[in-house]
Amino acid sequence: MKALFIGGTGIISTAIVKQLAQMPLWEVWLLNRGSRKDVVPGNVHQIIADINDETAVAEQIADLSFDVVCEFIGFRVEDVERDYRLFKGKTKQYIYTSSASAYHKPAAGYVVSEGTTLANPHWQYSRDKIACEDFLMKKYREEGFPVTIVRPSHTYDEQHIPLGVHGKNGFWQVIKRMMDGKPVIIQGDGTSLWTLTFNTDFAVGYISLMGNRHAIGEAFQITGDETLTWNQIYATIADALDVELKPYYVSSEYLAAVGDKYGYDFEGSLIGDKSVSVVFDNSKLKKLAPDMRTQVRFDQGARIALDYVLSHPEECQKEDPEFDEWCDRVIAAVEKSKNEV
């Protein structure tokens, strides 16, 4: 069977490609700009192209067809409209990577299934994902376009530490604050529920949907089963670093208000996602993916990731002095307001 990954070198897709490349049943192809050849297994075929250059891509795939096309970099409806034009009649299945952030916010309940309403007034990213799903499902209903929707939540890998509040350069400045003994901002009171999924676990569920006729025309959320509070997440990271966690709790609404002018979209990433308690009901997925389970707990994944991050400073330790200063100002402002009441 032949699979084409659009992208294929990101946090989620890299794990899938590596696992699939070891399976004799699959012939794996990537379509991307070829900028991360170092993470691509040697037996994987590559089409070097910019997916946004539709004419060039059409020429390169003119004589090719696939059992599955896997889209990982489709963020706007124009992206999936382009894919529809390129791959209609060329694939038996098109798997679109949406997002669990598309589920209704504020949530009516904390248990989320594929039947939960899609609506997120707080995050444009999520609304764009919903629009992509709507277009693809319309094409399935009207024309039989063989779409499968997958909705990941917070997926991480051996090079990234998952957090709630961080700056534009990612997680490292928060880790550095922990190591320096400085207070770390946690949204809300840290008791909301969250699910983190290691990318190799995600890959097991995803691969089970590939080439599976029972997945056509359906949506599946793919997450692990381990549910943690944000307090537990940050404490687990601190334990792995062997440092004392100094949490500083700030409401998501306040963070959204004071972060906006600095370019931090905490309305989207917190109010529209991470500050909302969720527990994922994965029973639909497990009917097709009986082997899907949490094999890498977060206490294990955090140590795996920190070992890599601490041993690869040039690659992973991106300083963010602007965010560090912003955290100090936010904490000082909250403390000042307490004294003024």
pLDDT tens-digit map of 229-278:
999 999 999 999 999 999 999 999 999 999 999 999 999 999 999 999 99
Q: Give the C-alpha distances (Å, rounded to integers) separating 105 from 113, 241, 267, 272, 284.
A: 14, 34, 11, 6, 22
- Lowest-confidence region among 20-29, 103-112, 156-165, 325-334: 103-112
pLDDT at 294: 96
**Residue among 68, 66, 70, 26 nearest 44 (CA):** 26
Over range 305-313, report the average pLDDT.
98
Q: What is the CATH number of domain 2-155+197-222?
A: 3.40.50.720
Q: How far is CA 196 from CA 92, 216, 237, 298, in A?
A: 31, 26, 13, 7
Average pLDDT over residues 151-165: 97
Chain segment 4-62, per-residue pLDDT in tens: 999 999 999 999 999 999 999 999 999 999 878 788 998 999 999 999 999 999 999 99
Whole-number pLDDT of residue 311? 98
Question: Is 158-196+226-279+296-332 CATH 3.90.25?
Answer: yes
pLDDT classification of 124: cutoffs 50, 70, 90: very high
Give the mean model confidence (pLDDT) for residues 307-321: 97
Measured at the CA of 108, the angle between CA 106 and CA 113, to 5 degrees, comes to: 105
Residues of the chain with CATH 3.90.25: 158-196+226-279+296-332
Going by C-alpha positions, the residue among 135, 124, 13, 142 that lies closest to residue 84 is 135
Where in the chain is CATH 3.40.50.720? 2-155+197-222
Q: How far apart are CA 35 and CA 48, in angstroms?
A: 9
Q: What is the pLDDT of residues 264-287, one digit of tens each?
A: 999 999 999 999 999 999 999 999
